[in-house]
Amino acid sequence: MSVFDRSSKDLPPTDFPSVLPVPVFDSLVLTASKILHKEPNCLTIEPDHESSAAAAAASVVIVGDLHGQLHDFLFLLQDAGFPSENRFFVFNGDYVDRGAWGLETFLILLAWKVFMPHRVYLLRGNHESKYCTSVYGFEKEVLTKYGDKGKHVYRKCLGCFEGLPLASIIAGRVYTAHGGLFRSVSMTPSKRSKGKKNRRLSFNSEPKPLALGSLEELSKARRSVLDPPWEGVNLIPGDVLWSDPSAKPGLSPNNERGIGLLWGPDCTEDFLKRFNLKLIIRSHEGPDAREKRPGFGGMEEGYTVDHVVESGKLITLFSAPDYPQFQATEKRYKNKGAYIVLEAPNFDHPKFHTFEAISPRPQVNAYYDYEDVIDSDEELDLASMVTASEETS
């Protein structure tokens, strides 16, 4: 962490291989990927069962979007306290893109994962994908920092993204994910193809009314895709990574984003009650996104409480202060970042910790055209997503 901090201030990005040579990168990513790919889609985290009884009571730190803002991330770790035997961390995804140090941020997280695999848990965000990283800067950042080895490094990162779990359940009381809830995709099998060679099930994919999915369905989804599909039968990963809450009741397509769902307070209540949960903690929306969402609080403090229902609450958590790092307008959002601490015995009473951005940030150029690029991931270019996936596969 200290080496990356110093190099971000003292060295040009093209010198990064002298800081972390490619063989060291390869070893770290391979080791981390093996751990991540073995984890289930929805992690079960039981802090009281896993922590040391002789030490202090366990706590769990929940972190939202980081978006390559390395120095703010390092401050968060110091402020919250580093992972330890009794301090668990759950990161809700979006480690890369927009900020200039997505690679350093992601590699530090992988190092912590390798060092403390049962204390540090990394979930996938919608930006841990081929499409988003090709638009919002991470691909260009990697190619700039690693030069002729850049494509190799980028491919390894994409492979690691595919292994990131989608969600977590903490102490049986708290559900966390990047975007949030997801639909049921239970489908009725149609006739089996004749012949022994082609005995694959086909499905009747006639549209059905949208309904909330179950944790069992989440556990069976196929997460190892470069870009979660917005159509077909494997819709749960896209929902978990891209969906947003709504002030209106019900479940509907998320037309603003072109992928995922919008879910209302009634769905939050249904999900909490059905699975005996108290909290949903999701991320995915920064101050730019919230500016366009009437009926919802802004992200000035780094978090909002979006739904308060009989069974509990829905919280949006955003951990990148003064976001985005690069803005086309003179007026900045100047939002704070936040993280949540859950403490024993029940782990369902969130304690919010807010913090300001580290200033000044080291001078650096953006890795994407922030003046022209679409704001807050809206109106996805679905055709580009298909092309991006085909090029990598």
Sequence-ordered list of residues with C-beta below 8 angstroms from that of 289, at least 6 positions apart, any chain? 299, 375, 376, 377
Token output for 121: 């848990």
Q: Is 71 a catalytic site residue?
A: no
- Bridge partner list, 315: 281, 305
Active-site position among 67, 127, 178, 284: 127
Report yes or no: 130 and 158 within 8 Å, Cβ to Cβ. yes
Residue 144 has a CB neighbour count (10 Å cut-off) of: 18
Question: Edge-to-edge, what's the strand order for the sheet holding 312-317?
Answer: 42-45, 167-170, 174-177, 279-282, 312-317, 303-309
Task: Give dist(CA 149, CA 103) in Å, integer.
Answer: 14
Task: Determine the distance from the C-alpha atom of residue 92 to the mean position of all C-alpha atoms in its chain, rounded to a whole number.
Answer: 4
Q: Is 89 helix (H, G, I), strand (E, B) or coil?
A: strand
Of 94, 393, 46, 69, which is closest to residue 240 (Cα–Cα)? 94
Residues taking part in catalysis: 127
